[in-house]
Amino acid sequence: MLFPFFEIINIMNYNIFTEVFTQCRYLRSKSMPPNPRKDEPFFKIHVEFFTPDFFKGEIFAGHGTNKARHLLFFTQVMKRQLEDCKTWFIDATFHFIRDPIKQVF
Protein backbone atom coordinates (compact mmCIF):
# COMPACT_ATOMS: atom_id res chain seq x y z
CA MET A 1 0.00 0.00 0.00
CA LEU A 2 1.35 3.42 -0.92
CA PHE A 3 1.07 6.32 1.49
CA PRO A 4 -0.06 9.66 0.17
CA PHE A 5 2.76 12.15 -0.13
CA PHE A 6 1.72 14.29 2.89
CA GLU A 7 1.65 11.24 5.16
CA ILE A 8 5.20 10.31 4.16
CA ILE A 9 6.32 13.87 4.93
CA ASN A 10 4.57 13.75 8.33
CA ILE A 11 6.22 10.42 9.19
CA MET A 12 9.62 11.77 8.12
CA ASN A 13 9.14 14.96 10.14
CA TYR A 14 8.08 12.95 13.18
CA ASN A 15 11.13 10.70 12.92
CA ILE A 16 13.47 13.67 12.52
CA PHE A 17 11.81 15.49 15.42
CA THR A 18 12.07 12.41 17.65
CA GLU A 19 15.73 11.94 16.82
CA VAL A 20 16.60 15.61 17.40
CA PHE A 21 14.62 15.65 20.65
CA THR A 22 16.40 12.52 21.89
CA GLN A 23 19.80 13.98 21.03
CA CYS A 24 18.99 17.26 22.81
CA ARG A 25 17.88 15.41 25.96
CA TYR A 26 21.06 13.34 25.89
CA LEU A 27 23.30 16.39 25.51
CA ARG A 28 21.39 18.27 28.21
CA SER A 29 21.74 15.34 30.61
CA LYS A 30 25.54 15.61 30.36
CA SER A 31 25.48 19.07 31.97
CA MET A 32 22.81 18.31 34.61
CA PRO A 33 23.50 16.98 38.10
CA PRO A 34 22.59 13.32 38.70
CA ASN A 35 19.13 12.46 39.99
CA PRO A 36 19.03 11.93 43.76
CA ARG A 37 19.27 8.32 44.90
CA LYS A 38 16.35 6.70 46.72
CA ASP A 39 18.45 6.17 49.84
CA GLU A 40 19.61 9.79 49.93
CA PRO A 41 16.69 11.96 51.15
CA PHE A 42 18.97 14.89 52.06
CA PHE A 43 20.65 15.17 48.67
CA LYS A 44 22.72 18.22 47.70
CA ILE A 45 20.73 20.93 45.94
CA HIS A 46 22.50 22.37 42.90
CA VAL A 47 21.20 25.94 42.99
CA GLU A 48 23.19 26.92 39.91
CA PHE A 49 20.60 25.09 37.77
CA PHE A 50 17.71 27.28 38.97
CA THR A 51 16.94 30.80 37.92
CA PRO A 52 18.50 33.38 40.27
CA ASP A 53 16.72 33.80 43.61
CA PHE A 54 14.22 30.94 42.98
CA PHE A 55 15.42 28.45 45.61
CA LYS A 56 14.69 30.07 48.99
CA GLY A 57 15.91 27.41 51.39
CA GLU A 58 15.13 24.31 53.38
CA ILE A 59 12.94 23.62 56.39
CA PHE A 60 13.61 20.54 58.51
CA ALA A 61 10.89 18.85 60.54
CA GLY A 62 11.00 15.95 62.96
CA HIS A 63 13.96 14.53 64.81
CA GLY A 64 16.24 11.51 64.87
CA THR A 65 15.50 8.98 62.15
CA ASN A 66 12.04 10.47 61.55
CA LYS A 67 13.31 13.66 59.94
CA ALA A 68 11.94 15.34 56.83
CA ARG A 69 13.11 18.20 54.64
CA HIS A 70 10.91 20.69 52.79
CA LEU A 71 12.41 22.64 49.89
CA LEU A 72 11.05 26.12 49.22
CA PHE A 73 10.95 27.50 45.68
CA PHE A 74 9.25 30.75 44.72
CA THR A 75 9.81 34.11 43.07
CA GLN A 76 8.96 37.50 44.56
CA VAL A 77 5.91 37.71 42.26
CA MET A 78 4.65 34.34 43.55
CA LYS A 79 5.22 35.44 47.13
CA ARG A 80 3.34 38.69 46.57
CA GLN A 81 0.39 36.80 45.04
CA LEU A 82 0.21 34.47 48.04
CA GLU A 83 0.42 37.40 50.44
CA ASP A 84 -2.60 39.00 48.73
CA CYS A 85 -4.76 35.84 49.03
CA LYS A 86 -7.08 35.34 51.97
CA THR A 87 -7.45 31.58 51.36
CA TRP A 88 -4.93 29.10 49.97
CA PHE A 89 -5.95 25.86 48.25
CA ILE A 90 -3.32 23.14 47.89
CA ASP A 91 -3.34 20.35 45.32
CA ALA A 92 -0.61 17.76 45.87
CA THR A 93 0.95 15.76 43.07
CA PHE A 94 2.08 12.23 43.90
CA HIS A 95 1.87 10.04 40.80
CA PHE A 96 4.97 11.17 38.87
CA ILE A 97 7.37 11.83 41.74
CA ARG A 98 10.30 9.45 42.24
CA ASP A 99 11.97 8.69 45.57
CA PRO A 100 13.41 10.34 47.62
CA ILE A 101 10.96 13.17 46.78
CA LYS A 102 7.46 12.43 48.08
CA GLN A 103 5.24 15.38 47.10
CA VAL A 104 5.09 18.47 44.93
CA PHE A 105 2.67 21.31 45.75
Of 30-34, 72-76, 81-85, the one with minimum mean pLDDT is 30-34
* Domain residue extents for the chain: 1-32
The torsion angles phi and psi of 80, rounded to 5 degrees, stand at -60, -40
Residue ranges of E strands in 1-105: 55-63, 66-73
Distant-in-sequence, close-in-space partners of 74: CB < 8 Å, separation ≥ 6: 54, 56, 82
User: According to the per-residue pLDDT averaged within each range, which of 8-12, 14-18, 30-34 is highest?
Assistant: 30-34
**How much is the pLDDT for 11?**
57
pTM value is 0.60
Q: What confidence tens digit (pLDDT) does each residue in 43-66 have?
A: 888 888 888 889 999 998 888 888
CA distance 22 to 99: 24
DSSP state of 104: B
The H helix count followed by the E strand count for the chain is: 2, 2
Above 80 in pLDDT, residue 29? yes
Above 80 in pLDDT, residue 27? yes
DSSP state of 89: -
